[in-house]
Amino acid sequence: MWVGDDTAVLTPATPALLLTTDLLVEGIDFDTAYCNGGDIGWKALAASASDIAAMCGQPSHAVVALGLPPSTTVRWVDEFLDGLMGAAGKWDLAVVGGDFSAAGQIVVTVSMIGRPLKETPVLRSGARPGDFICVTGALGGAAAGLAALRSGAPRTGSVGRLVQRQLRPTARVAEASKLADFDVTAMIDVSDGLAVDLGHLVDESGVGCVVDDSLVPIDPDIASMPDADALRLAVTGGEDFELLCTLRGDQAEAAADALGAVGTRLTTIGTVTTTGRRIGRRTLDEWRSEGWEHLRTR
């Protein structure tokens, strides 16, 4: 019951329904030294909306459970609600309820429902050998933003944009809606890093993959950080919330055109194979061993 896709597919009635839940914990998933309440509210909502989008779904309603230390200020709660409602407005979904409790640290659970945009929801498990592997937007920006926050670099220019990628991520809801017009065979959002999430996708699908690391779209703002290993950030950095999907190869170009219409790039980075799992010259496992979980908790 705890494995597989982030979002549950419910078919008790017509139409089917998607249901997901996401837990964010202070000190694990965010650090109040870098994030204000608004950032946390925004990100909690975005993470769940991204889970629904990754099923090729349209999020519609959310409920929020909030555990707060007794020392929490009213200002913090106001900021949290502003961030939460700002994200809800951006993706046109309704926050319809919640629950409060005291807690020793800030904990936020956002649970969300949505409807599938395709007759059959897109799972992680549908990739077939020969499909193209595609990803929206660019990768590594959120991880670079976290590094910048930790370094205390001024939040201006490129660094400011990277920090926003970390604090105020974008759920690819509009992009999921466009992708619904194509034969998307599998999809996942990049929350734990390309290597880890592609690993989930090929594991669940029982297939292999070959990714050309020169094709991986790297967040252009990372170029402003001279010490950054840009490819490593793009392959292992989490929380970009881009959509990683597999598509029938003859549809990749048309899908890229459709996403271009909403201002988002769709990049083909590789191919689904029967066996073997590589990004560039390294295996997925090699990349995973220095992945996001490792980076984040250093």
Where on the chain is the footprint of a second copy (CB under 8 A)?
Answer: 1-2, 5-10, 12-13, 15, 17, 19-25, 27-29, 60-61, 63-67, 95-105, 107, 109, 111, 113, 115
Contact 111, 47 (CB under 8 A): no
Give 187 or 207: the residue with its C-beta nearer to a second copy.
Answer: 187
First to last CA, the chain: 30
Give 101 or 156: the residue with its C-beta nearer to a second copy.
Answer: 101
CB of 88 to a second copy, least distance (A): 10
CB of 213 to a second copy, least distance (A): 30
Give 16 or 256: the residue with its C-beta nearer to a second copy.
Answer: 16
| Residue 200, SS3 per DSSP | helix
Distance CA 3, CA 40 (A): 26
| Closest by CA position to 143, among listed 234, 224, 215 | 234
CB of 64 to a second copy, least distance (A): 7
CB of 98 to a second copy, least distance (A): 5
CA Rg value for the chain = 18
Give 105 or 274: the residue with its C-beta nearer to a second copy.
Answer: 105
CB of 110 to a second copy, least distance (A): 9
Give 104 or 220: the residue with its C-beta nearer to a second copy.
Answer: 104
Buried b (16+ CB within 10 A) or exposed e, 255-284: bbebbeeeebebbbbbbbbeeebbbbebeb
